[in-house]
């Protein structure tokens, strides 16, 4: 179907023309246009559907008896999932992208120009292009249901709302609200969308299409939310738009550091929407999408999107195995991480028993849980009855008892093999054979932890990252005996908790910590050998990391980092030998943020400042003369080379999963698309040259494992 849309890629199992849309005529003068493509479980605005929509609109234009048109999905909770992201990722030519976007603009503009009254009856997911189709209608009726989510998330994929959203939404809700919606990429529930004026009326499932029909036929009046005087004080006031533009650009620049080109383009389009006609705005949007969709940032963000969607799909199971919806859980260990895991489990609907020997730790976790839930309720993120239920679902105990009904038990006790084995053996004695037993270990072998436990196929690693509520990644570690069903159900629970699961092989350090090890060690070596600590951290911030490696060491804790590096050395040998400088710096009073002092002084209320005695721990000037690019290479390539070794060992099934883990687990810059995607863009042959340059440098010869660390991996060589 490529030729139908001037280059829009043809999807697999493509239907014949005319099969994606059906038009119902329940009464004279009314047409109900139903998006119902046979090749999709949920309608997507792909080539076949858009081609059919073009033909249907043409027929509607030629129907002189037509009074009203309703656009709907095949059922109330299924309108359309927006534009075809596969299609976006497949376009590499700007002129081709421009033609595709212009084609869709033409369809939506003709819908907007129909003489008949048009109404969109929407429900379920209504993102991006699906909402832009709705915006071209006279009225939007939305399903009053928790599943309804409406918005324009395009900036999250590195593009702008390019099918009319950048100029139709501001005219509907005003410039400030439109900027907030477009720049945040947020999807709103039905009631919030109604309050913001993004839709005109709510309806229940059994009345959605009938109410939309009545509105379209003029039998029911709908009053649109009016901007009133604000339309003239803000939207049509050049001075107000100038001030808003300045403030928003300043905020976005501080947040994105100018690395995401879609945001400033979106700001310009929204601010110009009031003074320009639709044709001019459509052309501006088409040009913007053509530039952005073929650019590297968009391709990188789309690759992360696909990886995230693949992880969610895995968590939904297969035709042969559908994961249970777990109802009862237990969490052993009420430390900072264990308490947070239990809190999230309870919030997400599981009756959760939190167990710890310390009553004080249990009480602290319970108070923290209550405060977190109540804060969400006050901010209207949870309804009062749901907040009460979440609080009630968490119970505590100082004994491993009351867990016979548990369908999953997660332990987060001390990082010692003997302790974890002892705890899980006690758990196994109380739960049934179908209960999943998960260990939240960051470094110990899941297979060894499972030794001696009956039915070891139910033992799995579930590695959360700190802080649990904020970090989006969970590494699901497949032990030697872990069954596929256990892995799927654990991934499903992680997804239910709002996390993205990545399935990882049971190797030392798993994935994220294994990659962070050489990175943090290299930062320590650069520091010890004369590079300014502020320079190290600033260069990594400039590269796109969320914080510098020395600041990250403070967050992790110097003692934890030392323990992790020693474990990695035991597993991988000389290339992971830790820099002795970290033990020289660390002391009981200097472990990072937990003791208020490490590389940074965290004792004040403001932004942490570098400590003034760090020069005392620098033992040479060997690396002081390195260029910025040399420093960046030593830091990033130490990770990239180890990532390539992970690919050799099949630590993750695909490069896509590894890249996803680096973005969600260590904050690797999304605009790079992940660690190995960055290396791919640099080209493997170039990466090999730069690795060999570092390995040959004189200063590295005296460093344990330096040559091995930077010797190009066989994976880079094979795929160069």
- Positions marked catalytic: 463
Specify whether the CB–CB gap between 20 and 35 falls below 8 A: yes
Q: Which of 255, 148, 138, 245 is nearest to 191 (CA)?
A: 148
Question: 392: part of which helix (H) or strand (E)?
Answer: helix 384-392
E strand or H helix that includes residue 438 = strand 436-439
631 vs 276: CA distance, rounded Å? 48
Separation of alpha carbons 237 and 227, rounded Å: 13
User: How far apart are alpha carbons 352 and 493 in whole angstroms?
Assistant: 13
Structure tokens at 712: 């190009």
Dihedral angle at the C-alpha atoms of 615, 616, 619, 620, nearest 10 degrees? 30
d(CA 308, CA 670): 12
C-alpha separations of 230 from 177, 193, 269, 270, 382 in Å: 12, 19, 19, 16, 31
Give the separation between CA 540 and CA 547, rounded to whole angstroms. Answer: 7
Do residues 427 and 437 lie in contact, with contact meaning Cβ atoms separated by under 8 Å? Answer: yes
Distance CA 30, CA 135 (A): 20
Query: What is the pairing mode between strands 609-610 and 139-143?
Result: unpaired
How far is residue 136's CA from residue 158's CA, in Å, rounded to a whole number? 23
Instruction: Give the rounded distance of the alpha carbon of 489 from its chain centre.
Output: 21
| Cα distances (Å, whole numbers) of residue 336 to 110, 339, 499 | 57, 5, 18
| 381 CB neighbour count, 10 Å cutoff | 11
Instruction: Describe the crossing of helices 384-392 and 359-378 by its angle, rounded to 10 degrees.
Output: 170
């Amino acid at each position: 179907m490529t030729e139908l849309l001037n280059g829009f890629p043809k999807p697999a199992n493509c239907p014949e023309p005319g099969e994606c849309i059906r038009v119902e005529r329940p009464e004279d003068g009314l047409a109900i246009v139903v998006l119902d493509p046979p090749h999709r479980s949920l309608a997507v605005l792909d080539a076949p559907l858009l081609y059919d929509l073009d033909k249907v609109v043409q027929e509607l234009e030629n129907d002189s008896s037509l009074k009203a048109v309703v656009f709907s999905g095949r059922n109330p909770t299924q309108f359309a999932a927006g534009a075809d992201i596969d299609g976006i990722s497949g376009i590499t030519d700007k002129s081709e992208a421009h033609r595709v976007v212009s084609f869709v603009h033409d369809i939506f503009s003709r819908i907007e120009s129909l003489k008949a009254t048009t109404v969109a009856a929407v429900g379920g997911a209504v993102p991006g292009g699906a909402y832009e189709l709705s915006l071209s209608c006279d009225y939007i009726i939305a399903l009053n249901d928790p599943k309804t989510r409406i918005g324009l998330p395009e900036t999250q994929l590195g593009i702008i709302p390019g099918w009319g959203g950048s100029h139709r939404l501001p005219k509907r809700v005003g410039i400030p609200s439109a900027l907030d919606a477009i720049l945040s990429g947020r999807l709103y529930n039905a009631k919030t969308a109604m309050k913001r004026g993004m839709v005109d009326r709510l309806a229940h499932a059994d009345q959605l299409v009938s109410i939309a029909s009545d509105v379209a036929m003029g039998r029911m009046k709908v009053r649109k939310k009016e901007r009133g005087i604000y339309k003239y004080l803000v939207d049509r006031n050049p001075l107000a738009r100038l001030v808003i533009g300045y403030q928003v650009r300043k905020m976005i620049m501080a947040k994105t550091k100018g690395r995401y080109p879609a945001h400033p383009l979106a700001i310009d389009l929204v601010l110009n929407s009031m003074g320009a006609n639709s044709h001019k705005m459509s052309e501006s949007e088409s040009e913007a999408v053509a530039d952005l969709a073929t650019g590297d940032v968009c391709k990188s963000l789309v690759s992360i999107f696909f990886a995230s969607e693949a992880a969610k799909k895995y968590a939904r199971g297969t035709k042969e195995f559908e994961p249970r919806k777990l109802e009862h859980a237990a969490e052993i260990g009420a430390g900072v991480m264990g308490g947070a895991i239990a809190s999230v489990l309870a919030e997400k609907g599981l009756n959760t028993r939190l167990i710890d020997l310390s009553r004080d730790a249990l009480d602290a976790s319970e108070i923290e849980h209550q405060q977190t839930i109540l804060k969400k309720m006050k901010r209207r993120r949870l309804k009062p009855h749901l907040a009460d239920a979440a609080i009630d679902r968490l119970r505590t105990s100082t004994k491993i008892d009351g867990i016979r009904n548990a369908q999953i038990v997660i332990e987060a006790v001390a990082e010692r093999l003997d302790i974890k084995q002892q705890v899980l053996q006690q758990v196994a004695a109380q739960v049934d054979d179908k209960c999943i037993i998960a260990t939240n270990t960051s470094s110990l072998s899941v297979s060894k932890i499972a030794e001696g436990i009956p039915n070891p196929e139910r033992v799995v690693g579930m590695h959360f990252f700190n802080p649990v509520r904020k970090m989006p990644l969970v590494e699901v570690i497949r032990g030697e005996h872990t069954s596929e069903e256990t892995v799927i159900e654990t991934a499903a629970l992680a997804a239910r908790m709002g996390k993205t699961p990545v399935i990882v092989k049971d190797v030392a350090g798993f994935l994220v910590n294994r990659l962070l090890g050489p990175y943090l060690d290299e930062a320590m070596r650069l520091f010890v050998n004369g590079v300014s600590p502020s320079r190290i951290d600033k260069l990594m911030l400039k590269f796109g990391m969320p914080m510098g490696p020395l600041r990250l060491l403070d967050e992790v804790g110097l003692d934890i980092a030392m323990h992790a590096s020693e474990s990695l050395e035991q597993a991988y040998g000389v290339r992971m030998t830790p820099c002795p400088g970290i033990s020289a710096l660390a002391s009981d009073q200097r472990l990072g943020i937990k003791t208020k002092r490490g590389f940074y002084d965290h004792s004040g209320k403001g932004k942490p400042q570098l400590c003034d005695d760090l020069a005392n721990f620098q033992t040479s000037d060997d690396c002081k003369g390195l260029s910025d690019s040399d420093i960046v290479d030593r830091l990033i390539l130490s990770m990239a080379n180890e990532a390539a070794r992970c690919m050799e060992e099949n630590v993750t099934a695909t490069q896509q999963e590894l890249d996803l883990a680096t973005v969600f687990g260590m904050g690797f810059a999304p605009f790079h698309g992940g660690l190995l995607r960055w290396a791919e863009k640099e080209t493997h042959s170039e990466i090999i040259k730069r690795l060999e340059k570092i390995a040959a440098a004189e200063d590295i010869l005296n460093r344990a494992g330096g040559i091995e660390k930077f010797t190009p991996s066989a994976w880079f060589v094979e795929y160069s």
